[in-house]
Amino acid sequence: MKTLTIAASFVFAAITGFASGLSEAQNAAAIAESSNFNLQLLDAVNAERAKNGLAPLCSNAKLQRAAQLHSEDQAKNNFMSHTGSGGSTMQTRVAAQGFQWQSLAENVAAGQRDVASVMAAWMRSSGHRRNILGNHKFFGGGYAQSSSSRFKHYWTQNFGSGSKESCDGAPGPAPQPSSSPSPTPSPTNSSAPTISPAPVPTTMRPTPPPAPIPSPTRAPTPAPTAAPTQAPAPPSNSLQQRMLDAVNAERAKAGLAPFCTNSKLQRAAQLHSEDQAQNNFMSHTGSDGSSMSDRITRQQFQWNSVAENVAAGQVDVASVMQSWMNSDGHRRNILGNYKFFGMGSDTYGVYWTQNFGSADGESCEGGSNEGGVQPTPAPYPKPTNPAPQPQPQPQPQPQPQPQPQPTPAPQPKPTNPAPQPQPQPQPTPQPTPAPQPKPDQRPVAPGTPAPTSKNGKKCKST
């Protein structure tokens, strides 16, 4: 049985680095530097595993080479994604190096300037964290930078197991676990990407942005709040309508009823996109610590179920929709059993947010759904327990033949790696399910779990 997981995470970082076109001596130095980063990443990964009472991973040259080539590809071609510039996937890159895997996972990120920063971003994303703490044996890390690219710094982690593979060089150190190691955290939704994810994501949504796929997350029971916050100027009606049309087109393909616009979800989504743009991050968690459900409740949307997709780096509606539809978690949100929709995008169209919801006391406002038909999904019981929130996300991949996470209920990157006989997603960055970029050529935040209803039960999707 084979397992596949990917996650993406993205964070902007305005830092200079070296560009392509290195001399032979410079190239040799760059190779030595990438090897050093691999060891630093391995040490950081094993330190996190030790905290959770897990065995250390060891370095594998094939995984390292695959990771390094992918980081160099992203730096050279100015993007962040689990899909290479030539269309390669995590599994095809690893297979190209001759690694015969039984389980495989990948985290990517862009913008962080050092190992400590990128590890902190990944560990804040449930999907990427699952990859780092996953049931693997071998590790390979890659790092590349380019001062001419948008994100400057590009990171890749590959994790794998394989009965025919072995450790290369000295295995990673096995830090002593604490007397009472904390249990491996349960996955949460989140990005870009993401990132990620997008994270978010990944979400990471985290990639992002490059393209993280931030993951979706579940929302806790909403609490009454004061009057809705005034949102900044929303994207043009044409952009909102194009996004709604794109979402309803995908639902029509699946034989599902269209959504209609709700101004409260619209404001919540717009405020979150503006927050990410102004504070230079991609996640389902706002700069003030708010969750998706917090933001929607502030706008006085009395929800029965809600979900969110985030992404960063895509330049238009078509690109970001393609990234989301390529991620299981984000796709589930788009095709989920909701009725109302709202979207937000920052001034430059780099940070994207989609909010989905159902509610008995809410109505369609502004743009209506196609043909004026309004779906009437059955109401879901109010959840009683808050659900964890994801970040840039990994996504499950289809079962490969010797070959190789924004989400359901809301909150930030990537999916969990599940054994398979694509992420996440977020983040989604980076999970066992199938790998999926946190979006296209740029980042998106990771995918999230299936939406749940307010009583903690999973929402049925249609």
How far apart, in Å, are the Cα atoms of 216 and each of 1, 114, 251, 324? 27, 27, 18, 11
Measured between alpha carbons, how far is 3 from 326 in angstroms, rounded to an integer?
Answer: 18
Q: Is the peptide bond before 384 cis (omega within 30 degrees of 0)?
A: no
Tokens of 290: 């708010």
* Residue 289, domain member (yes or no): yes
* Residue 177, domain member (yes or no): no
Tokens of 185: 């955290």
What is the per-residue DSSP string for 295-343? HHHHTT---SEEEEEEEES--SHHHHHHHHHTSHHHHHHHTSS--EEEE
Tokens of 86: 């030539």
Strand-pairing partners, residue 352, are: 311, 345
Q: Which of 410, 322, 329, 351 is nearest to 5 (CA)?
A: 329
Total number of domains in the chain: 1
Measured between alpha carbons, how far is 347 from 321 in angstroms, rounded to an integer?
Answer: 18
- Tens digit of pLDDT for each residue in 117-143? 999 989 988 889 999 999 999 999 999
Q: In degrees rounded to 5, what are phi and psi of residue 344?
A: -140, 150
Q: Which of 384, 390, 387, 452 is nearest to 425 (CA)?
A: 390
The pLDDT score that the predictor gives to residue 315 is 78
What's the angle, vertex CA 210, arms to CA 206 and CA 216, rounded to 5?
Answer: 30
Q: Which of 242, 398, 397 is nearest to 320 (CA)?
A: 242
- Tens digit of pLDDT for each residue in 368-378? 443 333 333 33
Residues of the chain falling short of pLDDT 50: 6-28, 30-32, 170-236, 367-419, 421-432, 434, 437-445, 447-448, 450, 452, 461-462
Let me know: does 219 contact 408? Beta carbons within 8 Å. no
366 burial type by CB count under 10 A (0-12 exposed, 13-18 middle, 19+ buried): middle
- Strands 340-345, 351-358: pairing is antiparallel
The pLDDT score that the predictor gives to residue 336 is 95
Cα 418 to chain centroid distance, Å, stands at: 16
pTM of the model: 0.40
Measured between alpha carbons, how far is 370 from 251 in angstroms, rounded to an integer?
Answer: 11
* Residue 175, domain member (yes or no): no
The pLDDT score that the predictor gives to residue 308 is 95
Domain extent, residue 81, equals 1-170+183-462
* Residue 348, domain member (yes or no): yes
Q: In degrees rounded to 5, what are phi and psi of residue 76?
A: -65, -40
* Residue 178, domain member (yes or no): no
For 256, half-sphere exposure in the C-beta direction (CA atoms, 13 angstrom radius) is: 21
The pLDDT score that the predictor gives to residue 199 is 31
The pLDDT score that the predictor gives to residue 310 is 92
* Residue 176, domain member (yes or no): no
* Residue 101, domain member (yes or no): yes
* Residue 120, domain member (yes or no): yes
The pLDDT score that the predictor gives to residue 74 is 94
Tokens of 362: 């809410």
E strands present in 150-216 = 153-161
Crossing angle of the two packed helices 24-51 and 61-77, in degrees rounded to 10 = 120
Cα dihedral value 84, 90, 93, 99, nearest 10? 170
The pLDDT score that the predictor gives to residue 59 is 95
Let me know: does 388 contact 188? Beta carbons within 8 Å. yes
